[in-house]
Amino acid sequence: MSPLVQLAIIWAGVFVSGLLATKTRLTSVLYYLAFGALMVNLNILPSESAPFIRDFAELGIILIMFALGFEENTRTFLRSIKRSWGIAFFGAIAPFTVAYFITQYFYGDTNIAIMCGLTMTATAVSLTMVSLKGLGLSKSRAATGIMTSAVLDDIASLALVAILVPMASGQAVLSMASVALIGGKAVLFFGGVALVGVFLLPHNMSGWISKLPIIGRYGVRDLITAGKGEHSTLTIILFALVVGLAAHEFGFHPAVGAYMAGLILSEEYFMSDSKTAYSSHKRARIIVDNAAFSWVGPVFFVDLGTKIIFDWDIVVAVIPQTIILLVSIFLAQIFSAALAARYTGNFKLHESMMIGFGMLGRAELAFVVMDIAYVQNSIFTTEVFYMLMFTTFWLNVSVPITITLWKPYYMRGEEVRKSVERASIS
């Protein structure tokens, strides 16, 4: 089958999946995966994709991770860290630990256990925010706590992916020297990106760096606003790709670099000397989001779905492991995040439980880890891959259900909280 024919079939499925996701209020990722699985089991799409499709899918996940970082308001995020660090830390360490020990018990393989723990760590903030928006709660304090905690989770998960994947995939031998080397490379990469964000990207430079030729005179704003901002989208995507390639040179997945590239870009870099950031920044956001979530990025998930070739013997065999892992992650995620929100973030009980439910989803980064472990490095067996796919699916389904069921209790709690605040003011 021609790669272009494959792409046409995939895009048709992406369109239908998007419509179904809108109707059911579930993340479209689930439908992309389901479509890929359906097509490969009907022998319409091949299980081994053409190199063009694989490369296109790789570009898609780079764009997705860049878009997720780019949409974050860095200043708001930094202001919210103090209140949300505990939710992110305990809300990540609990599912990682649970997944690690359960899969270690089932399969007796440390590398599998590590990658399963990473898969269950990062939260699907987009799914939660869509669910909260549908219920009119997207501007609530609980939503802010979920958003910040999920971003912290993602950054920590990216760092863990960068450090642990080379060891789990056999690219580095587990020893004190190799751990120190990979850890040092991770610190060097993330520290380097942070330094670029602090010293090179800001337009109004000061100190010694302002005296450097070219760099001291022209900042990133000059690049983005060149040609009246007509090339701003190309500039930032190129920036994301360059940082992604730099991450790859350090031995990390390019998506790690793309996310960090998006996170350090700020709206103020799109401002010209005489106009606001409106036109070029808004246009760039629209184009990047459209490419990442509508037509390039979804190819990654459909292609990953084509790896789910139904073998009913395997499906039946992994049911006990899936149920145990699902229930364990469900309980560990809710109570770890809720308790952390209550006692480290000083959220009220009704807000803490909503945060716990909101942290259940698993999306983009989870599937990146599965792709690395199953498709690229063959760390996962087919049984492990099926177990994680089914667990992830039901965790995502549980998000809108639990949030909807908790909403009446949440609204009553909000009424009590507001009445107490009014009484204290008067």
> What integer pLDDT is reported at residue 277 of this predicted model?
47
For the cut 80, the answer to whether the pLDDT of residue 49 exceeds it is: yes
Q: Looking at per-residue confidence, does 375 or 318 come out higher? A: 318
Radius of gyration of the chain (CA): 22
How would residue 127 be classed by pLDDT, with cut points 50, 70 and 90? low
Residue 164 lies in a domain: yes
Residue 36 lies in a domain: no
- For range 58-77, the mean pLDDT: 78
> What integer pLDDT is reported at residue 385 of this predicted model?
92
- For range 167-189, the mean pLDDT: 71
- Integer angstrom CA distances of residue 402 from 22, 126, 368: 18, 16, 26
> What integer pLDDT is reported at residue 77 of this predicted model?
62
> Three-state SS string across the chain, please?
CCHHHHHHHHHHHHHHHHHHHHHHCCCHHHHHHHHHHHHHHCCCCCCCCCHHHHHHHHHHHHHHHHHHHHCCCHHHHHHHHHHHHHHHHHHHHHHHHHHHHHHHHHHCCHHHHHHHHHHCCCCCHHHHHHHHHHCCCCCCHHHHHHHHHHHHHHHHHHHHHHHHHHHHCCCCCCCHHHHHHHHHHHHHHHHHHHHHHHHHCCCCCCHHHHHCCCCCCCCHHHHHCHHHHCCHHHHHHHHHHHHHHHHHHCCCCHHHHHHHHHHHCCHHHHCCCCCCCHHHHHHHHHHHHHHHHHHCHHHHHHHHHCCCCCCHHHHHHCHHHHHHHHHHHHHHHHHHHHHHHHHCCCCCHHHHHHHHHHCCCCCHHHHHHHHHHHHHCCCCCHHHHHHHHHHHHHHHHHHHHHHHHHHHHHHHHHHHHHHHHHHHHC
How would residue 39 be classed by pLDDT, with cut points 50, 70 and 90? very high
State which residues form the domain around 248: 41-300+310-425
> What integer pLDDT is reported at residue 8 of this predicted model?
96
Q: Looking at per-residue confidence, does 396 or 6 come out higher? A: 6
> What integer pLDDT is reported at residue 324 of this predicted model?
96
Structure token pair of residue 44: 């319409």
Domain total for the chain? Answer: 1
For the cut 90, the answer to whether the pLDDT of residue 42 exceeds it is: yes
> What integer pLDDT is reported at residue 145 of this predicted model?
77
**Average pLDDT score, the chain:** 81
For the cut 70, the answer to whether the pLDDT of residue 170 exceeds it is: no
Range in 27-36, 177-186, 270-279 with the lowest mean pLDDT = 270-279
Distance CA 404, CA 280 (A): 37
> What integer pLDDT is reported at residue 181 of this predicted model?
74
Residue carrying structure tokens 């081994």: 48
For the cut 60, the answer to whether the pLDDT of residue 130 exceeds it is: no
| Range among 88-102, 361-375, 390-404 rated most confident | 88-102
Find the CATH number of the domain harbouring 280: 1.20.1530.20
Q: Looking at per-residue confidence, does 190 or 297 come out higher? A: 297
> What integer pLDDT is reported at residue 212 of this predicted model?
58
pLDDT per position as a tens digit, 332-350? 999 998 998 888 888 888 8
Distance CA 120, CA 336 (A): 14
Q: Looking at per-residue confidence, does 299 or 74 come out higher? A: 299
Residue 2 lies in a domain: no
For the cut 90, the answer to whether the pLDDT of residue 6 exceeds it is: yes
> What integer pLDDT is reported at residue 197 of this predicted model?
76
pLDDT per position as a tens digit, 251-286? 777 877 888 888 888 777 777 654 544 567 788 889
